[in-house]
């Protein structure tokens, strides 16, 4: 019988809580890290949960500060805060070896988490990884007027392709993000890594995943470029590839180095 997921809220000790849903099962478990302004109820998260539940494998999904059902204001969040949230959820809500699956910004955070907890992270799967996006991508896409407004007010609102509501961007998000850069130096994670990216991704160019691949020190790291796939990677073909790649990663993690 499939295990029944349990849910709760993780106290962060500063008056805020992270919402989470966890399915017990065997290890290595799977932990999903969502994207910028996404939440744990998205297509990829639920597909992974169903897949792991059917296999009897432990699974965790959660919402960062200011996202989904967690407390806090989105615009007050930073890469460092969300990195700390992921680390807190990993430490408090998982046990034993884990496979990290990160989508978009979650790919950046999952890679950082793999560095923070290398001894327990058995493998890493990223989907349209948005490593360093607040440094390399976001500022370059602002118009001169938007750049002036951000410098003057410390905040702007940008239209979203995925919502009718614009999302706020604060200068602090960009400034603080520099403390968590990945693509400027070697990334000393040595477990198996699989990176998926679509050639038609209009939000994060596939070259970002290629740069991450080139920085990783793992000897078992592969990039799969999917012709015509967009950033969301949530259609039937994208989900099927994600799940198949997860199973392949599980096999690689079990085989060990070499």
Residues noted as catalytic = 104, 201, 231
66: left (phi over 0), alpha (psi -120 to 50) or beta: left
CB-facing half-sphere around the CA of 64: CA atoms within 13 A: 27
198 touches 235 (CB < 8 A): no
DSSP 154: S
* Nearest Cα to Cα of residue 26 among 53, 57, 2: 57
Q: Supply the DSSP string of 160-186, one letter for each residue.
A: -SS-SS-EEEEHHHHHHHGGG--TTS-
Question: Length of the chain, please?
Answer: 258
**Rounded-to-integer distance, Cα 25 and Cα 52, Å:** 8
Sequence-distant (6+) residues with CB within 8 A of 80 are 176, 179, 180
Edge-to-edge strand ranges of the sheet holding 26-33: 6-11, 17-23, 57-62, 26-33, 98-103, 121-127, 193-198, 221-226
């Amino acid at each position: 019988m499939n295990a029944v997921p349990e849910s709760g809220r993780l106290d962060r000790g500063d008056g805020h809580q992270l919402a989470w849903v966890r399915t017990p099962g065997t290890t290595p478990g799977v932990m999903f890290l969502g994207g910028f302004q996404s939440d744990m109820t998205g297509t990829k998260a639920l597909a992974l949960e169903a897949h792991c539940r059917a296999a009897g494998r432990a699974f965790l999904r959660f919402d960062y500060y200011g996202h989904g059902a967690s407390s806090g204001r989105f615009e007050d969040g930073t890469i460092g805060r969300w990195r700390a949230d992921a680390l807190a959820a990993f430490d408090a809500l998982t046990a034993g070896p884990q496979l990290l699956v990160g989508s978009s910004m979650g790919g950046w955070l999952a890679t950082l988490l793999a560095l923070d907890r290398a001894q327990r992270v058995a493998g890493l799967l990223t989907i349209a990884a948005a490593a360093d996006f607040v440094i390399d991508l976001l500022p370059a896409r602002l118009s001169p007027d938007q750049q002036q407004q951000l410098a003057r007010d410390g905040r702007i609102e940008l239209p979203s392709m995925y919502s009718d509501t614009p999302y706020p961007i604060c200068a602090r998000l960009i400034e603080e993000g520099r403390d968590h850069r990945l693509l400027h130096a070697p990334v000393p994670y040595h477990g198996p890594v699989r990176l998926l990216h679509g050639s038609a991704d209009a939000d994060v160019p596939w070259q970002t995943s290629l740069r991450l691949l080139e920085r990783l020190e793992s000897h078992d790291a592969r990039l799969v470029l999917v012709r015509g796939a967009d950033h969301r990677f949530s259609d039937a073909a994208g989900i099927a590839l994600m799940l198949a790649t997860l199973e392949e990663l599980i096999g690689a993690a079990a085989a060990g180095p070499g």
